[in-house]
């Protein structure tokens, strides 16, 4: 589904990604961990098509198509979804209107008729129930005045609405209280299926107790320096990153 080969990217001349290789197959969940500033959000931004970053080398194939040649909106419409580490507030645009536009623009891209207003509302109600979302949030302006945790939950709700093929979740667990963490994880687990893949960026093993990954990768200085199964996350929880950093230094 997703094939990242030797990806290098920089911003304002500063090299941030230094040759990432990652393959994600349908239905897999990959966790990416790594110290602050390692380049995790940069990787997710490059996947989503943020223009600030310049890709200097490598390629990203998504379902056989060159992702790097697509506009951000086309990537989304092809099925890539990014749950932002810092979701943006958009005053004056309601979540409902926003999602209706997003869904219908995606349908248009695929040559489908727009969803009828009543069908849309029904669909939204179903997803709200599935994600255990509070109704008052969707009638408000998008993320405006939402608490940190509410914003994160709204990201997962949007994911449920847009039904992506590949969901990248950038620290969706940060800032969630214990109950919200469970709700979000349950939500994600309900969306898991044999075709849908996830890349979950997190600092905490705790999330991975709920969303059990197939693979865990450690990103450090813009490269994936270690990969393993779910047990790697447990090991990191105990030992921290120093031993990995030491391994990397030794290898150089």
Partner 1 sequence: MSTIEKLKKDFEHYRAQADASAFAQQRESAFVELQKLGIPSIKHEEWKYTNLKFINDIPFQASCLHTEAAKTYYTQNIVQTLKANRLVFINGSFEATLTQIQPEDAGIIITNLASARIAHADMFSKHFGKYATVEGIALNAMNTALMSDGAFIYVPEGKQTAYPIIITNISDASEVNVLNQPRNLIVVEKNAAATVIESFFAFGNHASFCNIVNEVYVGENASLEHYKLQRLLGEHYQNNYTQVFQEGNTHINQVTLTLDGKFVRNNLHFYMNGENCNTLLYGLYLLDGNQFVDNHTRVDHAKPNCFSDEKYKGILKDKSTAVFNGKIMVHLDAQKTNAYQRNQNILLSDEATVNTKPQLEIFADDVKCTHGATVGQLDEEPMFYMRSRGIPENVARKLLLNAFADDIAEKIKIPELVAILEEQIEKKI
Ligand X SMILES: Nc1ncnc2c1ncn2[C@@H]1O[C@H](COP(=O)(O)OP(=O)(O)OP(=O)(O)O)[C@@H](O)[C@H]1O
- CB 41 → ligand X: shortest distance, Å? 3
Is position 194 an interface residue for ligand X (rule: CB under 6 A)? no
Q: What are phi and psi of 166, to 5 degrees?
A: -130, 120
Q: What are phi and psi of 33, to 5 degrees?
A: -120, 175
Q: Pick one of ligand X, Mg ion, partner 1, none as the site partner of residue 198 (Cβ within 5 to 8 A by kind).
A: none
Is position 11 an interface residue for ligand X (rule: CB under 6 A)? yes
User: Of residues 2, 7, 38, 82, which one binds ligand X by CB under 6 A?
Assistant: 38
Q: Is 92 exposed, middle or buried (0-12, 13-18, 19+ CB in 10 A)?
A: exposed
Burial 102-137 (b: 16+ CB within 10 A, else e): bbeebeeeeeeeebeeeebeebbeebbeebebeeeb
Q: Pick one of Mg ion, partner 1, ligand X, none as the site partner of residue 93 (Cβ within 5 to 8 A by kind).
A: partner 1
Find the binding residues for ligand X in span 141-170 (CB under 6 A): none
The DSSP H or E segment spanning 94 is: strand 90-94
Is position 60 an interface residue for ligand X (rule: CB under 6 A)? no
Q: Pick one of Mg ion, partner 1, ligand X, none as the site partner of residue 213 (Cβ within 5 to 8 A by kind).
A: none
Distance of alpha carbon 92 from alpha carbon 127, whole angstroms: 23
Q: Pick one of Mg ion, partner 1, ligand X, none as the site partner of residue 162 (Cβ within 5 to 8 A by kind).
A: partner 1
- CB 42 → ligand X: shortest distance, Å? 3
Select 45 or 202, whichever has its Cβ closest to partner 1.
Answer: 45
- CB 136 → Mg ion: shortest distance, Å? 29
Question: 3-state DSSP call for residue 166?
Answer: strand
Is position 52 an interface residue for ligand X (rule: CB under 6 A)? yes
- CB 250 → partner 1: shortest distance, Å? 39
Query: What are 223's strand-pairing partners?
Result: 220
Contact residues for ligand X (CB under 6 A)?
A: 11-12, 14, 16, 34, 36-42, 52, 85
């Amino acid at each position: 589904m997703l094939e990242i080969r030797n990806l290098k990217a920089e911003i304002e001349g500063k090299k941030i990604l230094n040759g990432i290789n990652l393959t994600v197959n349908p239905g897999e969940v990959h966790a990416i961990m790594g110290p602050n500033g390692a380049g995790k959000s940069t990787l997710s931004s490059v996947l989503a098509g943020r223009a600030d970053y310049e890709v200097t080398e490598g390629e990203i194939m998504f379902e056989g198509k060159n992702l790097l040649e697509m506009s951000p909106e086309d990537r989304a419409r092809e099925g890539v979804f990014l749950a932002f580490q810092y979701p943006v507030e958009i005053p004056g645009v309601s979540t409902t209107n926003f999602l209706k536009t997003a869904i219908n623009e995606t349908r248009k891209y695929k040559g489908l008729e727009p969803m009828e207003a009543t069908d849309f509302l029904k669909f939204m109600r179903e997803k709200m129930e599935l994600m255990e979302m509070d109704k008052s949030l969707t009638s408000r302006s998008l993320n405006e005045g939402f608490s940190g945790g509410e914003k994160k939950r709204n990201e997962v709700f949007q994911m449920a609405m847009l039904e992506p093929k590949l969901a990248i979740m950038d620290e969706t667990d940060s800032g969630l209280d214990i109950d919200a963490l469970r709700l979000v994880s349950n939500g994600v687990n309900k969306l898991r299926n044999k075709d849908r893949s996830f890349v979950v960026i997190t600092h905490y093993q705790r999330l991975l107790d709920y969303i059990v990954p197939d693979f865990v990768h450690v990103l450090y200085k813009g490269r994936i320096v270690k990969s393993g199964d779910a047990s790697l996350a447990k090991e990191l929880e105990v030992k921290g990153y120093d031993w990995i950093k030491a391994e990397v230094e030794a290898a150089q």
